[in-house]
Amino acid sequence: MAGFPKKLHQKLQERSTKDALRELAPTSPKVDFVSNDYLGMAKDEVILKNAYQLLLNRGKLRNGATGSRLLSGNSALFLETEEEVASFYGSEAALIFNSGYAANLGFFASVPQRTDVVLYDEFIHASIRDGIVMGNAKSYKYEHNNVEDLKDLINRVQSANNPDMECYVVTEAVFSMDGDSPDMVAFIKVCKDFGCHLIVDEAHTIKRLDQKQKAIEHGNEDPIFARLVTFGKAIGVQGAAILGSAHLKSYLINFARSFVYTTAIPPMSIASILLAHTDDQIERMKVITALLQKNIQYFNHQTEALGLSDIFIPSSSPIHCCIIPGNKKVKEMAVLIQNSGFDIRPILAPTIPEGQERLRFCLHSYNTQEEIKEVLSILSKALNT
């Protein structure tokens, strides 16, 4: 067998030298401040048992989907689930993908055409960047959450007066590495004024359960061209969906390669998605979401009380990031906190720019206020010694 290529070995060595080498570690029994299971739904035995029973009752209990959805992998359960998901999020149609990464890859590699442009936030997720690279459209980045910079960029690309050009603007409802959010009302207005198509990655948001139709505050027609929602975070199962018009769904079925050329996710996952989005779950999720919101408020109150606000990125989401520059330093801080019984992970360069290394705290409905207070107290003492 040939030896490992020298150039690849050098790249690994460079990562190691910079304290940036990624390695897999088992999940930890420590207090969870790292997972995306914001509402604790991944551990929900009710959904798990009911999904099994649903498949058993319908005679569809099996390990795998057996093929792509365009061949043997589709089922009435898939279609029923997509209808339920679309209704739950107030959208005309939904198309389920195997993951959020696959959904973004398929969308951005196929929807924007050669004569089009994609304008993306400088901190946009890697899956969107990869999809743009695979596509044929030109792309330009705008300053993070900066509406004025976006306007200037739209003016520049539209000044070419290309009648065949469609302009796509993409942002995230909650940015996964910062936990902050754009002014969505302003973004919607800009895209409406300039005739652009707005795409929003909602992977890290929590569904507004007090409002069945998300578009109601903007009128009857949803002003957003496409939304990505994932099921592997707050919903606690597997998969993702692109929400939009029936025409968009049809287009993706025909041209999104990450949908066309992959085996569908297993029936158990589809049954779990369906059950997580039924009306029966809404009241339960309202209670759980209220607990999460209280924890977010308490976390922000504690950071202020401990004098930590200046090193945390402002956030009203479950994601809270403490900037501790330098891979070595932030890793040492993470180990110190882990040794105190809390599962917290550092985010290192090159995942984020050098000098922006951070500890990323993910809050959950099941975290206690005592846990929040203790982990922040440990952080505060460590930073002041």
User: What residue ranges do the domains of the chain occupy?
Assistant: 21-38+281-383, 45-277
Q: How does the average pLDDT of the chain come out, rounded? A: 93
The gap between the terminal CA atoms of the chain, to the nearest Å, is 52
Distance of CA 161 to the CA centre of its chain: 35
DSSP secondary structure string, 160-194? T--TT--EEEEEESS-TTT-----HHHHHHHHHHH
pLDDT given for residue 211 in this prediction? 45
Give the three-state DSSP class for 200: strand
Q: Which residue has the tokens 């690279």?
A: 133
Contacts of 71 (CB under 8 A, 6+ apart): none
Tens digit of each residue's pLDDT (9 = 90 or more) over 186-216: 999 999 999 999 999 999 998 765 444 444 4
Please count the helices (runs of H) and the strands (runs of E) in the chain: 13, 12
Contacts of 213 (CB under 8 A, 6+ apart): 90
Residue 62 burial (CB count, 10 A): 11
Share of the chain above pLDDT 90, in %: 85
Architecture of domain 21-38+281-383: Alpha-Beta Complex (3.90)
Q: Are the folds of 21-38+281-383 and 45-277 the same?
A: no
CB–CB of 347/355 below 8 Å? no
127, 122, 125: which is closest to 105 by C-alpha? Answer: 127
pLDDT value of residue 256: 98
pLDDT category at 282 given cuts 50, 70, 90 is confident
Report the top-level CATH class of 45-277: alpha beta
Q: What is the pTM of this model?
A: 0.92
For 61-99, how does the pLDDT look when each residue is reduced to its tens digit (9 = 90+)?
A: 999 999 999 999 999 999 999 999 999 999 999 999 999
